[in-house]
Copies of this chain bind each other. A is one copy, B any other.
Amino acid sequence: MVEVPTGTLIVEAVHQAGLDLNIPCGGQGRCGRCAVIVDNRRAVRSRSELRLSQEDLAAGYVLACQTVLEGDVTVTIPPQEKIERRLVTDRTATRVTLPFSYDPKRDQPMQLVPLTIDPPTMDDQTDDWSRLKRAMALNYGISDLTIDLATLRKLGTTLREADWSVTAVVELDTWDRPNGPARLVDLIAGQNVAHLWGAAVDVGTTTVSLYLVDLLRGEVVARAAEYNAQIKRGEDVISRIIYASRNGNLQEMQALVVDTINEVLERACGRAGIRPWEIYKMTVAGNSTMIHLLLGLPANSIRLEPFITTINQPPPVQAAQLGIAIHPQAHVDCLPGVASYVGADIPAGVLGSQMCDSKSVALFLDIGTNGEMVLGDCDWLVSCACSAGPAFEGAGVRDGMRATVGAIEEVWINGQTYEPTYRVIPDPQLEAQGKPTLPKGICGSGLISLLAEMFVTGVVDKAGNLNFDLGSPRIRYGEHGPEYVVAWGNETAHGRDIVITKVDIDNLIRAKAAIYAGFTVMARSVGIDLSTVERVLVGGSFGQYVNVEKAIQIGLLPDLPWEKFHFLGNTSLKGALFALLNREFRRHLTTIAQKMTYLELSADNTFYEAFTSALFLPHTDLSHFPSVAEILAARRTTQSSHFIQGGRPDVHHR
């Protein structure tokens, strides 16, 4: 029971009642997932009913983010979709190979300095701070040292309780002050301090991952990952920016991601048997929106043309200012980004992959809702970002879903019968009971796989049109036009057919075309042919789940030999780790971020042309995809003639 003024959004009222309601699109009325049931439709007024069917409306469903209250009403919240997929990155104890040999004295700005200080006497009444500085200058040559008020407040007590035998935790420099001054971060009683801890964090839009690092040995001692708690306020960055830009929500978003960081921190520390406040340094990588929200910076200008960040290279901030539960005076150092849609994860990935150490041209990719990409070698780097939309994340597609339990993640289609086989992300609980996990929908990698199979088997032609001539019962007209049935209702979790519609196919083609057009424009801008690229470095989770062969078949990735593809995993997290361990690497990151040429695609008049040319499977110009041309040619000779009629490459040529 909660009383609210007339005109309050249901989502607000639910919030005020202390309940939680996911709004994956950030309250824009786009996703339909905040639908709730009201018992009195006349007591509410809806701005939009998008994504609600006639049956939904009849059952009393309204969109909580689009409906205001105008009278007394009982709101029923249906069970919320939960993220059930086990995070593969949580717990796995990986040995991370550093791209440098680690010398803590040379590489590490954080130092433990044992100090034996002469106690004051009536003949030497020097104040505590000057006394400590004197010992530091005499014994370690550190003459320019600063102290924060909080550290100053405990200085006298620590010195006396420790009988003037202490260990100073000193930060020698930061990336923005390479010549110091050094900073006294903490003073620990005694001289038996055996450890110095740091943490490297990747704040992903979906997942927050953390390495707990022994700064003396340069080793990852524990890791942990968790879904970013901001997800419930928007699944993609745009939704979150929109949500955060409303009154007061920025603080909430800031708190949500900090809560997640503190959770993974607590978990990793638990595994290593230490306490979070023993951590004296944290580096954070993330896209520009994630970094803005973490720092509590308004992100709205990132979303609006001309797409501007508040800051690409934030100064180090004290943990206490953000609410991060490491040592309050410890610095949280957010790695540098390049532009609104080329965040800190990109320079971190470029540097972590050693892409700029070689003369050979490499392409670095990070594909999600936005494709971020960099082309270059040791002499030049050009980057761009293109908005693929959420199709590869399973959103904006009729039966699309996130890569969680019950999602179809891979599909094979029989070239003779056009019958599909698929693999579902299993529910561990059902698995343990020996029961199968029934599908609920299709996730991004499943959609790519499905589309590629449909194309090479001729279920769709190069324009994405379904071939009704095949005579398969799976190819039919549905509520939204032509569609292909992937799973019949009797084999699904909800009893409804799982389909891919022509509209979905068009969505996917637009998404892949945007990415491929990015490559094209970027390559053209530097006069390079994509086929001359020596290495394709794929970062992020996309590379972990997607089948490259199929991504090439739909024209999402350039058609290069498999051995040129390298899957780097979480380059962002690794970049944060390297930056945590190595001050040279950290400074180099800034140089790279500054040196990278950013290409704004929406301002590039060749982009639209490249995009339009890519709106086919795999592309208007099949010569760019020789391996796909080969498959198609092979199929032509083995398959029935009606396919060739429906799918002949030249039929739809403009």
Taking Cβ atoms with an 8 Å cutoff, the residues of A that contact B are 120-130, 146-147, 149, 152-153, 155-157, 160, 176, 295-298, 300-301, 305-315, 317, 321, 339-340, 598, 600, 602-603
- Pick the contact of A317 from B121, B149, B340 — CB < 8 Å? B149
- Pick the contact of A146 from B120, B127, B315 — CB < 8 Å? B315
B125/A310 in contact, CB under 8 A: no
A127/B600 in contact, CB under 8 A: no
In the assembled complex, 28 residue pairs joining A and B whose CB atoms fall closer than 8 Å, in A order, are A120-B306, A122-B306, A122-B602, A123-B600, A125-B308, A126-B308, A127-B308, A127-B309, A127-B312, A127-B313, A128-B309, A128-B311, A129-B310, A129-B311, A130-B311, A130-B313, A149-B296, A149-B317, A149-B321, A152-B314, A153-B296, A153-B298, A155-B297, A155-B310, A156-B300, A156-B301, A156-B308, A157-B298
Sample of 10 further A-B pairs with CB below 8 A, known A125-B307, A146-B315, A152-B310 = A122-B305, A122-B600, A123-B603, A125-B306, A125-B308, A127-B309, A127-B313, A128-B311, A130-B311, A149-B317
Chain copies in complex: 2
A307 to B313, CA, bound (A): 46
Q: Which B residues touch A313, using CB under 8 A?
A: 127, 129-130
Q: Which B residues touch A152, using CB under 8 A?
A: 295, 297, 310-311, 314
B153/A297 in contact, CB under 8 A: yes
A160/B120 in contact, CB under 8 A: no
B310/A128 in contact, CB under 8 A: yes
Taking A149-B317, A301-B160, A600-B122 as contacts, is the C-beta distance between A127 and B295 under 8 angstroms? no
A300 to B156, CA, bound (A): 9
Chain B: which residue is nearest A307 at the CB level? B125
Chain B: which residue is nearest A121 at the CB level? B306
Chain B: which residue is nearest A250 at the CB level? B153
Q: Which B residues touch A147, using CB under 8 A?
A: 315
Q: Which B residues touch A120, using CB under 8 A?
A: 306, 308
Q: Which B residues touch A307, using CB under 8 A?
A: 122, 125
Q: Which B residues touch A309, using CB under 8 A?
A: 127-128
Chain B: which residue is nearest A122 at the CB level? B603
Q: Which B residues touch A312, using CB under 8 A?
A: 127, 129-130
Q: Which B residues touch A308, using CB under 8 A?
A: 120, 125-128, 156
Among A295, A301, A602, the one with the most B-chain Cβ atoms within 10 Å of its Cβ is A301
Chain B: which residue is nearest A297 at the CB level? B153
A311 to B126, CA, bound (A): 9
Q: Which B residues touch A305, using CB under 8 A?
A: 122
B295/A149 in contact, CB under 8 A: yes
Chain B: which residue is nearest A308 at the CB level? B120
Q: Which B residues touch A125, using CB under 8 A?
A: 306-308, 339-340, 598, 600
Q: Which B residues touch A128, using CB under 8 A?
A: 301, 308-311
A125 to B599, CA, bound (A): 10
Q: Which B residues touch A598, using CB under 8 A?
A: 125
Taking A295-B152, A297-B153, A298-B153 as contacts, is the C-beta distance between A311 and B127 under 8 angstroms? yes
- Pick the contact of A297 from B124, B156, B297 — CB < 8 Å? B156
A106 to B121, CA, bound (A): 42
A72 to B401, CA, bound (A): 69
A6 to B43, CA, bound (A): 59
Chain B: which residue is nearest A157 at the CB level? B298
**Shortest CB distance A173–B (Å):** 14
